[in-house]
């Protein structure tokens, strides 16, 4: 079954809400984040500055909107749906990072509220619907989980530090 385009718009809208929370509160949290980044065992990472963070955040916020626009083209609409499911899989994984960071710092971390209150329920609903309505197969969802680890791990590191060369 082909997904309703209005449902697909929820992916970038939820990401925007989440990333807005991160953008609004990250400036104050960066000293604590940088202390963790520069401490062992990930001490090889340099501190991140706020403009660098905002550039990377802007890039990842725009990407799902591009996928929704891509979905309007009939020849690539299935690919667009799959890419949006991958984005939401990555956002579900992002929740784990937010909870882990909050526990490590024993404090609120920017994005935690929307991660728990918006991304968890929406991700579960969308991913279950994607499987039920056969937008993707179980094998594809498994590989999307692995790919989400790469996107949210090394991919995000490259994007953030690459943004430092711009900002």
Q: What is the DSSP string of 118-160?
A: IIHHHHHHHHHHHHHTTSS-HHHHHHHHHHHHHIIIIIHHHHH
Which runs of E-coded beta strand occur in the chain?
A: none
Task: Provide the token pair at 160.
Answer: 């953030």
Question: pLDDT per residue over 12-57, tens digit each?
Answer: 999 999 999 999 999 999 888 888 777 756 556 778 889 999 999 9
Compare 8 and 111 and report the one with higher pLDDT. 111
The Cα 108–Cα 25 span in angstroms is 10
CA 51 to chain centre: 18
Residue 121 near residue 48, CB atoms below 8 Å: no
Output the pLDDT for position 155. 85
pLDDT of 115 higher than 90: yes
- Average pLDDT of 88-103? 94
pLDDT of 166 higher than 70: no
Output the pLDDT for position 104. 84
* Structural domains of the chain, count: 1
The Cα 157–Cα 37 span in angstroms is 11
Question: pLDDT per residue over 132-164, tens digit each?
Answer: 999 999 999 999 999 998 898 888 888 888 887
Compare 104 and 45 and report the one with higher pLDDT. 104
Query: Which residues form the domain of 70?
Result: 5-166
Enumerate residues 6+ apart whose C-beta is below 8 A from 7: 126, 129
pTM confidence score = 0.90
């Amino acid at each position: 079954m082909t997904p309703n385009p209005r449902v697909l718009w929820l992916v970038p809208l939820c990401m925007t809400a989440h990333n807005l929370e991160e953008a609004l509160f990250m400036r104050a949290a960066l000293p604590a984040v940088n202390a963790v980044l520069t401490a062992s065992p990930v001490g090889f990472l340099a501190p991140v500055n706020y403009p660098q963070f905002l550039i990377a955040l802007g890039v990842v916020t725009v990407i799902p909107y591009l996928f929704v626009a891509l979905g309007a083209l009939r020849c690539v609409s299935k690919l667009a749906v799959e890419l949006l499911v991958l984005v939401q899989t990555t956002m579900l994984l992002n929740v784990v990072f937010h909870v882990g960071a909050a526990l490590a710092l024993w404090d609120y971390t920017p994005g935690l509220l929307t991660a728990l209150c918006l991304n968890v329920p929406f991700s579960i609903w969308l991913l279950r619907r994607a499987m039920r309505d056969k937008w993707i197969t179980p094998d594809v969802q498994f590989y999307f989980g692995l790919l989400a680890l790469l996107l949210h791990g090394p991919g995000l590191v490259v994007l953030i530090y690459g943004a430092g060369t711009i900002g």
